[in-house]
Amino acid sequence: MDLKSFNRFEIPDPRTRSCLKITEFNRLSTEINKLCGIKLPDSKLVMVEGRLRRRVKVLGLETFEEYVKYLFSETGAKHEMVPLIDAITTNKTDFFRENAHFEFLRSAVLPEVEKLQRNIFLAWSAGCSTGEEPYSLAIVLSEYFEKSKMHSFSIFASDISTEALNKAIDAIYSLECIEVIPMDLKKKYLMKYKDPAKPQARVCPGIRSLVNFSRVNLIEDEYDVPGDLDVVFCRNVLIYFDKATQEKVLGRISAKLRTGGYLFLGHSESILGMNLPLKRAAMTVYKKV
């Protein structure tokens, strides 16, 4: 038998052998809930362990016990809380996700706002992740404004994850990611890399310049976002909060909307049972009254 054809057994790296204990998970989940409102039931332990394993390695630590100890130290509290949130938050999004919302924006909201003769249209993508949503908004608004009497628009986009925001600002996406965008809009608003080794495209500068990105934590009392907004897209964000937190967040978001402005939520989100100045306008679309 040729032993050279077999790999030797190796002693596992202690970093990969370490597991996140339930007591450590509970301490982390309590802190994460306090920092950004995200609820993490015990069923998320394996997910949290997987996502934090890279942080353990980056910091040169060997166990999750060491990581938790560092996190709650004076140095860790200062430097590790943001990377912790970056690692835990889910940044799943797509261009023109839940496209019925963009159709409603085109067919109902924009014509209505145009009749009001407002000088500028203001939109906020709250929980913008890696940028697909605000850039989708920018494309829709650019197309409409070409034939509209309205003068200009501005889009504010925010997320709690600095890592996601950096990707959004770079605005570079795989060709697979932009497949959903119609070819005429791709040619108009995206630039494909010439290098075949880079199957990517970048949102063109004209569209990038229309979106202002910033970090906003939705469970904080104040948002550094302009008021008198025409629309707010806050989709698939509330699902991570408990009911009481959802109502508080929506109350603060509603305060940023002008009367008659629209709030778009995710397909599985609702304001049922909440005391808010909103009425249903379409499926998961609400109008401020």
Q: Which of 51, 53, 118, 215 is catalytic?
A: 51
Cα torsion for 133, 135, 208, 88, to the nearest 10°? 20
Q: Which of 159, 208, 230, 235 is catalytic?
A: 159
The terminus-to-terminus CA distance of the chain in angstroms comes to 80
User: What pLDDT is attached to residue 86?
Assistant: 85
Task: Assign residue 121 a region (left: φ > 0; alpha: ψ between -120 and 50; beta: otherwise).
Answer: beta
User: What pLDDT is attached to residue 109?
Assistant: 96
User: What pLDDT is attached to residue 100?
Assistant: 95
Residue 90 CA to residue 38 CA, distance in Å, equals: 11
Residue 53 bears catalytic tag:
no
Residue 51 bears catalytic tag:
yes
Identify the bridge partners of residue 229 per DSSP, sorted by sequence position: 257
User: What pLDDT is attached to residue 255?
Assistant: 96
Residues 6+ apart with CB under 8 A from 142: 189, 206, 207, 210
Low-confidence ranges of the chain (pLDDT < 50): 1-16
Domains of the chain with bracketed CATH:
3-88 (1.10.155.10), 99-288 (3.40.50.150)
Give every strand in the sheet of 200-203, ordered side by side: 172-174, 200-203, 190-192
